[in-house]
Amino acid sequence: MTRLWNEPGDFADEMVDGFVAAHGRLVRRVTGGVARSTRTPDGEVAVVIGGGSGHYPAFAGLVGPGLAHGAAMGNLFASPSTPQVLSVARAAEQGGGVLLGYGNYAGDVLNFNAAQDQLRAAGIPCESIAVTDDVSSAPIDDRARRRGIAGDLTVFRIAAAAAAEKRPLAEVADLARRANERTRSFGVAFTGCSLPGADAPLFEVPEGRMAVGLGIHGEPGLSITDIPTADELAEMLVARLLDELPDGVSSARGARVVPILNGLGSLKYEEMFVVYRRIAQLLDDAGLVAVDPHVGEYCTSFDMAGTSLTLFWLDPELEALWDTPVDTPAYRRGGAVAPGEPLAEVDEEADAAEIGPSDDASRRLAAGAVTAFTRAAATIDEHVDELGRIDAIAGDGDHGIGMQRGVHAALGAARDAAERGAGLGTTVALAGDAWADRAGGTSGALWGMILRTLAADLGDDGSPDPAAAAAGLTRAAEAVMAYGKARPGDKTLVDALVPLAEAFERGIADGSAIGPAWADAARTAETAAAATADLMPRMGRARTHHEKALGTPDPGAHSLALLALTLADQLTPQEA
């Protein structure tokens, strides 16, 4: 378990502060994460990687000469927000464009893709690569859905080596994708992991048993078995990876591979060396040439006890790039790396958002919005453990924590905006930005989008027209579906959001006041959220474990219904 923290909610920020203090020679703190302490050479592609915190040395530990130029760092096990990715990319970019690299998880895909779009819109060339090395998370014919684990290292290292040679962005991206296609990983775990302040692990593995194929966020494995001997585990890992040769590799015999035995957080190095002893024998028996073997921690899962084996299948060009020297806080290979041009200290803190004009009526409604966020925060605080438990059944168990971070950040931003004289629309928009930025992950991105879309229809003048407010909620639902690609029936937040929007718009059209119309719509969302228990997930992390999710409502839909009901309680005839 995790033992040392101050305030659990401050853990990730304080961890970054300490990391930068310890490694100031190589990294500097920027808004959203860290970047190299030296200036990116003019015209060099900036390789910006990232994901949730809790996986050190991924991602911050891989920033430095020969590897990443920056790392966007989300909260624990939550993807960085779009503004965080943008901030790190802009801090690192120096005229050569940006390659974004991340693991293939729903929140990371949403936020990194949105950042890519915004960088391109700003005239900064950008490409991206989602790492998909985990063979246990999807079959070979659906490998685009596979998640990224320790194979991140091979993809990021090849991309950075190509960037250091001043290759153009398109070529750097193509080489990263080739490295991804030639990287395969498979892992097991013996215990779960616990986040700071949590009363229990995010997930549990029965005593004396091993989860096969478990994800690095606690996504359920493919099966539970007895713990094998070290040699038997080595044989399992190697056999599974040799069952699937990458395209372009006709035979294992004579092929050159980089083997990476990765510890997930609590497994001792000595144990891994015992396992690797047998892995090396098996690779040799198969006729493989092991190049630059790695045994250590490269992508962890906080304090999880487990290990994964990665095989990176080289070709001559990839092998030449692999030999590029690297010097980062957590990873050093090859000879000395020449330091770059040092950067002067820069204050990265953004100024407070400007508050535009508003009238008295809108400011009164902004105060009501602060009350709504206060009650929403209390509701999530009350249900945080329940939301985490639901999410842990077929996900990673952090939905409650993420919602709690998001709603409290939204409350703080709304209160600050209202105190500075903001109208309703601005107050809700800034709350949405704060929610997305602090919560990170998929739900953070989607809740930010819901609130920002609504804010555009609420405005800062007078009281919003009920029909416009209803239409705004419908537009928010449409924006979420366009952004996240989920549809009703996929077992996501959308299964409650769409019925909520439809019922609210119908109630307003039938002549109901806002309060009664919202109360009816909230009850509709509650019913729809409960009905997701009968659905098989088709989106998100739970999709690879259909049977485990059956019988349990979707946590995103459930939390949305809880907050809709909370708002219904506030919207008395007087407050409406």
User: Distance between CA 467 and CA 251 in Å, rounded?
Assistant: 65
CB 147 within 8 A of CB 134: yes
Query: Mean pLDDT over residues 196-219, rounded?
Result: 84
Stretch 411-436: mean pLDDT: 94
pLDDT digits (tens, 9 = 90+) for 271-290: 999 999 999 999 999 999 99
Q: Are 51 and 80 in contact (CB under 8 A)?
A: yes
Confidence (pLDDT) at 297: 97
DSSP states along 238-260: HHHHHTSPPTT---STT-EEEEE
Q: What angle do CA 295, 311, 74 make, to 5 degrees?
A: 70
Q: Among the listed ranges 67-71, 166-170, 393-397, which one has the minimum average pLDDT value?
A: 393-397
For 306, the 3-state DSSP assignment is strand
Does the pLDDT value for residue 576 go beyond 70?
Answer: no
Per-residue pLDDT at 349 exceeds 60 = no
Q: What is the pLDDT of residues 49-71, one digit of tens each?
A: 999 999 999 999 999 999 999 99
Q: What is the pTM of this model?
A: 0.85
Whether residue 421 contacts residue 355, with contact meaning beta carbons closer than 8 Å, is answered with yes
> Locate tokens 């590897």: which residue?
67
The answer, yes or no, to whether residue 543 has pLDDT greater than 70, is no
pLDDT in tens, 457-471: 888 998 888 898 899
**Whole-angstrom distance, CA of residue 88 vs CA of residue 93:** 9
Cα–Cα distance, 178 to 145 (Å, whole number): 17
Q: Is 185 in a helix, a strand, or coil?
A: strand
Q: Is the peptide bond preceding residue 186 cis, with omega within 30 degrees of 0?
A: no
- Residue 351's pLDDT is what? 54
Token representation of residue 453: 């879309």
Continuous H helices in 459-488: 466-484
pLDDT tens track for 306-338 = 999 999 999 999 999 999 999 999 999 987 676
Active-site residue, from 23, 69, 217, 399: 217
The closest alpha carbon to 259, from 323, 325, 308, belongs to 308
Lowest-pLDDT choice from 50-64, 395-409, 553-567: 395-409
Which residue stretches of 218-296 are H helix?
A: 230-242, 269-285
Supply the pLDDT for residue 363: 93
Residue 77 pLDDT level (bands cut at 50, 70, 90): confident
* Confidence check: pLDDT of 347 > 50: no
Q: Are strands 209-212 and 183-189 parallel, antiparallel or unpaired?
A: antiparallel
**Across all residues in the chain, what is the average pLDDT?**
91
Question: When comparing pLDDT for 218 and 533, which is higher?
Answer: 533
Alpha carbon distance 217, 195 (integer Å): 11
Query: Which value, to the nearest 10 degrees, does the dihedral of the CA atoms of residues 548, 550, 554, 555 take?
Result: -40
- 546 part of the active site: no
Q: What's residue 531's pLDDT?
A: 95
Query: Phi and psi dihedrals of 226, rounded to 5?
Result: -65, 150
Which range in 96-110, 322-336, 544-558 is most confidently predicted, on average pLDDT? Answer: 96-110
Closest to 337 measured CA to CA, from 323, 347, 349, 351: 323
DSSP code for 300: -
Alpha-carbon distance of 548 to 220, in angstroms, equals 8
% of the chain at pLDDT higher than 70:
94
Residue 359 has pLDDT above 60, yes or no: yes
- The pLDDT value recorded for residue 256 is 98
Go through the domains of the chain in sequence order and give each one's CATH number: 8-324 (3.40.50.10440), 360-570 (1.25.40.340)
Confirm if 488 and 456 have CB atoms less than 8 A apart. Answer: no
DSSP 96: S
Section 137-161 average pLDDT: 95
> What is the average pLDDT across 212-230?
88
pLDDT for res 193: 86
Q: What is the pLDDT of residue 199?
A: 76
Whole-number pLDDT of residue 465: 85
